[in-house]
Amino acid sequence: MSELIDGKKVSEDTREEIAKGVEELKSSSGITPGLAAVLVGDDPASEIYVRNKRKACEKVGIYSEEHKLPAETTEEELLALVNKLNNDDKIHGILVQLPLPDHINETNILRNVTPLKDVDGFHPENVGRLVEGNPRFISCTPYGIIKMLDYYNIEIKGAEAVVVGRSNIVGKPVGMLLLHRHATVTTCHSRTKDLGEVTRRADILVAAIGRANFITADMVKDGAVVIDVGINRNEEGKLTGDVDFANLSDKVSYITPVPGGVGPMTITMLLWNTLESAKLSAGK
Ligand code: GUN
Q: What is the CATH number of the domain that holds 231?
A: 3.40.50.720
Say if CB 110 and CB 123 are below 8 A apart: yes
110 shares its domain with 168: no
- Residue 167 contacts by C-beta under 8 Å, 6 or more apart in sequence? 208
Judge whether 23 lies within some domain. no
Judge whether 283 lies within some domain. no
Q: Which of 35, 95, 122 to mutate to test the pocket of ligand 1 (most atoms within 8 A of CB)?
A: 95
Query: What pLDDT shows up at residue 236?
Result: 87
Nearest to 271 by CA among 5, 56, 106: 56
Instruction: Report the interhelical angle of 262-281 vs 140-151 (nearest 10°).
Output: 110
Which residues sit opposite 1 in a β-bridge?
A: none
161 shares its domain with 104: no
Judge whether 168 lies within some domain. yes
Judge whether 120 lies within some domain. no
CA nearest ligand 1 atom 1, residue? 98
Which pTM does this prediction carry? 0.97
71 shares its domain with 161: no
Query: What pLDDT shows up at residue 45?
Result: 81
Domain hosting 252: range is 140-263
86 shares its domain with 144: no
Judge whether 5 lies within some domain. no
Index of the ligand 1 atom closest to the CA of residue 140? 6
Query: What pLDDT shows up at residue 47?
Result: 84
d(C-alpha 260, C-alpha 142), whole Å: 16
Q: How far is the CA of 202 from the centre of ligand 1 (A)?
A: 27
250 shares its domain with 149: yes
Query: What pLDDT shows up at residue 83?
Result: 98
Query: What pLDDT shows up at residue 48?
Result: 83
95 shares its domain with 157: no
Say if CB 31 and CB 1 are below 8 A apart: no
CA nearest ligand 1 atom 8, residue? 97
d(C-alpha 226, C-alpha 202), whole Å: 9
Q: Tell me the pairing of strands 232-233 and 239-240.
A: antiparallel
Query: What pLDDT shows up at residue 206?
Result: 99
Residue ranges in the chain modelled with pLDDT below 70? none
145 shares its domain with 192: yes
Structural domains in the chain (count):
2
96 shares its domain with 146: no
Judge whether 124 lies within some domain. no
161 shares its domain with 241: yes
DSSP 136: S
252 shares its domain with 169: yes
149 shares its domain with 254: yes
77 shares its domain with 153: no
Q: Which of 67, 113, 120, 139 to mutate to test the pocket of ligand 1 (most atoms within 8 A of CB)?
A: 120
We report the CATH number of the domain holding residue 42 as 3.40.50.10860
Query: What pLDDT shows up at residue 19?
Result: 98
